[in-house]
Amino acid sequence: MAKLFSKEQVKTFFCALVFLCLIVSCSYADVAVNEANFPDPNFRKYVNEVFALNSGTIPDYLLQSTTTVSVMGMNISSLKGIEYFTQVKYLYCLSNDLSELDLSNNKDLVSLYCNYNKLNELNISNNTEYASYNSPSKNK
């Protein structure tokens, strides 16, 4: 019976596989719930309670799997930090104090409800899945 691979080839393949696994595992990281990542105190409080379970850190698996964020009527003036939730499809941010909203990094966003805000600027430029937008008529 013939050998398929030499010992050296198996060793090289194994090393490459381990290296690749390290790169993939290091490319994702938990996110600290702090003022730098979530400047608005009300949004930060919501994120810490709902996603970090009051631990101060959002686990990567939640950042990669959360599809809905609902922050209606929470007196939020900035949703900076929403970009960490890369799989968000539905965003409900009605009745807040938002004047600008940058969702360009939330590429899977399908539906946005942002009525009753002070929106002057909305960036959905990279949202390839975007289908529904509900806003302008009743912005403050």
Q: CATH number for the domain including 39?
A: 3.80.10.10
Provide the pLDDT confidence category of residue 100 given band limits of 50, 70 and 90: very high
The percent of the chain in helix, strand and coil, each rounded to the nearest 5, is: 30, 15, 55
pLDDT at position 138 over 60: no
Could you tell me the CA-to-CA distances from 1 to 4, 7, 13, 22 in Å, in that order?
9, 16, 22, 35
- Asked if residue 121 belongs to a domain, the reply is yes
Provide the pLDDT confidence category of residue 8 given band limits of 50, 70 and 90: confident
Which residues lie across from 70 on neighbouring strands?
92
Query: From CA 26, how far away is CA 124, in angstroms rounded?
Result: 28
pLDDT in tens, 102-126: 999 999 999 999 999 999 999 988 8
pTM, to two decimals: 0.76
Overall domain count for the chain: 1
Q: Is 16 left (phi over 0), alpha (psi -120 to 50) or beta?
A: alpha
Could you tell me the CA-to-CA distances from 133 to 6, 23, 110 in Å, in that order?
58, 37, 9
Provide the pLDDT confidence category of residue 24 given band limits of 50, 70 and 90: very low
Which domain, by its residues, includes 118?
29-138
- Asked if residue 5 belongs to a domain, the reply is no
